[in-house]
Amino acid sequence: MSNILQMRIFQIIMLLSAMFSASLSAQDLKFKLTDFHTYNPKLNEAVLQQFNQLSEAEKVAQLIMPAIGPYGQTEATIDQLVKDKKIGGLLLLNGTKDEFTTWVKKYNTWNKEAGSLPFLYSADAEASLVNRKIKNSTPVAKANTLRTVKEVKAVARTISKDLNEIGINYNFAPVVDMSPNKTVGWRSFGHEPDSVIPWSNAFIQETQKHNIIATAKHFPGHGYVEGDTHKKLVYIKGEMKEVKNYPPLIENGVVSIMIAHIAVDNDSPFNTQGQPSSISKEIVTDLLRDSLHFEGLIVTDAMNMLGVSTIPGSNVKAIDAGVDILLMPLNAAKAHKEILEKYKSSLAFKEKVDLACKRIIRAKLCTEGDLFPSQN
């Protein structure tokens, strides 16, 4: 065999090897939501790679999720926030399937062209709310009318199909509270742990099977309190009875938990000293992270609710308490500014933001990995 022929064969082998390696590398980066809670060196490396490409301001932006729609910010306001790279996700609130689909496509295009990370797109797609929150969505039975795990799975499957069609990858459901409180009662699976826990787990598993993040809410429990956190700060007085609903869901891999604006009184060592749980280290870090060992995304309930919005510095306090995502701050640009200032002045706070940012990037890689600029 001539030297020229040997060289040509060697070149072909090297070319095929390079093509195979590139193909394998791209394939390895197509993560799924099932990877979120598992040890995966390639996923860890991908998270770090994306994190290191972000500026300080872009890292802070990942933690901020305003709403767009009739009960959220105007499209013009969101447009500016996206252009300024001050947000990392969007809650699609009270609109039609077509409107939401159009917004998702629009902001995906903008982020891709700007070299930005894709958004987490969320919705309040609970069984009892989805047909009001997403008009023209497929009709489903309300949570308090469901009677079997099979029915719960069927509803979650129907909802997830609509969300997949829109491009929503983060569902703020299910409600795992008990039903006595009239604000959440009709949105709940009932008042017995024997039904609430397995049905919540079924909803979560079916949702996440469709590569959509499910969210157990409203931690540490809204079912036995009196009042509505949309209107005022409410209290759990004594034992937090509904916390026991969460360990089985955490053990089964729920990716997100929402923190309510509920104060806890007379339940040492988790008293919140008259502050809502959403800005309480005792609840977010000491209880949920350290005692219950939850390693997923912690998102606040809407920060424009009266149970928290009147507290000065609440955005920074929520992050300092250990939450990952600020939902619906009154002013997203102001929240970004406040958090960035604290980020630059406090090493301990910076470390909390960085950890939250990495969790969010991990979730984005596991739901929308193919949208990342470095992978295209």
- Examine residue 253 and state whether it is found in any structural domain, yes or no: yes
- Position 287 scores a pLDDT of 98
- Please give the Cα distance from 203 to 41 (Å, whole number): 29
- Please give the Cα distance from 208 to 210 (Å, whole number): 5
- Examine residue 357 and state whether it is found in any structural domain, yes or no: yes
For residue 330, pLDDT beyond 80: yes
Q: Which run of H or of E encompasses 60?
A: helix 56-61
> Model's pTM, two decimal places?
0.90
Q: Mean pLDDT lowest for which of 17-26, 54-63, 264-273, 287-296?
A: 17-26
- Examine residue 18 and state whether it is found in any structural domain, yes or no: no
- Examine residue 1 and state whether it is found in any structural domain, yes or no: no
- Examine residue 24 and state whether it is found in any structural domain, yes or no: no
Averaged pLDDT for residues 219-228 = 83
From the list 165, 292, 205, 200, the residue with the least C-alpha distance to 240 is 292
CATH number where 352 lies: 3.20.20.300
What is residue 290's DSSP assignment?
A: I
Tens of pLDDT, residue by residue over 50-86, are 999 999 999 999 999 999 999 999 999 999 999 999 9
Range of the domain at 263: 30-371
Considering only CA atoms, give the Rg of the chain. Answer: 22
Q: Residue 183 contacts by C-beta under 8 Å, 6 or more apart in sequence?
A: 222, 227, 228, 229, 230
Higher pLDDT, 184 or 338: 338
- Position 318 scores a pLDDT of 99
- Please give the Cα distance from 213 to 122 (Å, whole number): 9
Number of domain units in the chain: 1
Q: Residue 91 contacts by C-beta under 8 Å, 6 or more apart in sequence?
A: 65, 66, 67, 68, 72, 122, 123, 124, 172, 327, 328
- Examine residue 15 and state whether it is found in any structural domain, yes or no: no
